[in-house]
Structure 1
Amino acid sequence: MTDRLPLPASVDTPQTIVVTGVMAAGKSTVSQLLAERFSRAVHLRGDEFRRVVVSGRVDMSPHGDPEAERQLALRHRLTAHTANMYAEAGFTVVVQDLFVGASLEPFLEQLEAPISLVMLAPDVSTVMRRESERAKTGYGDLWSISDFDLKVRTETPKIGLWLDSSQQTPDETVDEIIRRLPEARIR
């Protein structure tokens, strides 16, 4: 584990930091560790809003189901609203979720400034290794790791900080995010 220096006051102020990337990029671990670095912080997992749907949930697929897209937009609205409320109350909010392609900018438009965006972008072989080491699976018959990675890299707007975390530990990734937070600022 690295030595954790205190954050400069300019960094440790209420803000929203969006952490995204392909499945198995390390979003959950990095987001939790990042939130722990701030004096007042919330780790908001957007996927929790998907999981609370008890019946009628339609998950995203590569086939473009309108109901799945409607539910994703609802999940993103709930996440943005919750993030804004926590930020208004003086917390730094680390939002973790999949924001791929055209879903990213509508989500960001719902957030109040200041906002930073971090795209965790490890290489495909690293994602394959990480996916094989985790208990849950994000890929299967519908999504391949390389196809999903290509979709993220070609269809998602290149804004914020895109970070290749392939050769980093989670703590090293968090250290780099904090060092480069000004580059991640989008508004």
Structure 2
Amino acid sequence: MPDDSVPYGPPPGSVILITGVMAAGKSTVAEALAARLPRAAHVRGDAFRRMIVSGRAEPLPGDASPEAAAQLRLRHRIAARVAEEYAAAGFTAVVQDIVLGDDLAYWTGLVRDRPLHVVVLAPGPGAVAAREAGRAKTGYGAWTVAAMDSALREGTPRLGLWLDTSARTPEETVDAVLARLPESRIRR
């Protein structure tokens, strides 16, 4: 149900990218944010990765194979195109995916004709490890929390709004995103 007390809402047809490391709360926050907006769609980038039934190549820490890198870029292109389609239909497209390092600048370049917001959820490594331990699915295999946190903090350009969500509930995080949404706007 949309919240009429939202201090700022994105213009119709906007795209909001919610990114961060695994277990940062991207899925929960993106879904809750979309639910608070008057007309929104939640685009889950990982769904496009899972659509590859055979031949999937996963990025590995420090050395993604050319095939893994190509598949990651494919996933990002598909998510951005789907977001643009929802935005063209008047929805706010809330995209959630892991977009770190140089991929963040690449991803933002894919959305050309829409108001674009970037929100980076950046809880501390201790909070991420605790969240990962407490959830049914596991995201960290070849990656460690420290390696992914380093990729976020040391290799990702400072675009949009970065939030340390270590001590925030998902609802508090959505409140912060909405209150500070103008800071997240990187285009138009």
| Pair in the same fold by TM > 0.5 | yes
* Partner AA of 1:26 in structure 2: G
- 1:22 is matched with which residue? 21
Unpaired segments of 5 or more residues in structure 1? none
1:20-51: per-residue Cα shift (whole Å, max 9, x none)?
Answer: 00000000000000000111100000110011
The SS at the match of 2:186 is coil
Identity %: 50
In the TM superposition, residue 10 of structure 1 has moved relative to its aligned partner by 5.1
1:34-83: per-residue Cα shift (whole Å, max 9, x none)?
Answer: 00011110000011001111111111112221100001111111111111
Unpaired segments of 5 or more residues in structure 2? none
* Partner AA of 2:53 in structure 1: V
Taking the aligned partners of 2:8 and 2:127, their CA distance within structure 1 comes to 34
In the TM superposition, residue 14 of structure 1 has moved relative to its aligned partner by 2.4
1:104-128: per-residue Cα shift (whole Å, max 9, x none)?
Answer: 1111111132000000000111001
Taking the aligned partners of 2:8 and 2:58, their CA distance within structure 1 comes to 40
- 1:52 is matched with which residue? 51
Pairing of 1:78-157 with structure 2 (within 5 A): 78-111=78-111, 112-140=113-141, 142-157=142-157
* Partner AA of 2:5 in structure 1: P
In the TM superposition, residue 93 of structure 1 has moved relative to its aligned partner by 0.5
Root-mean-square deviation (CA, aligned residues, Å) is 1.5
TM-score scaled by structure 1? 0.94
- 2:166 is matched with which residue? 166
Taking the aligned partners of 2:169 and 2:158, their CA distance within structure 1 comes to 24
Distance 1:126 1:58, change over 3 A: same
Note if contact 1:116-1:184 (Cα within 8 Å) is conserved in structure 2: yes
Taking the aligned partners of 1:8 and 1:163, their CA distance within structure 2 comes to 18
In the TM superposition, residue 12 of structure 1 has moved relative to its aligned partner by 5.5
TM-score scaled by structure 2? 0.93
Aligned pair count?
184
* Partner AA of 2:46 in structure 1: D
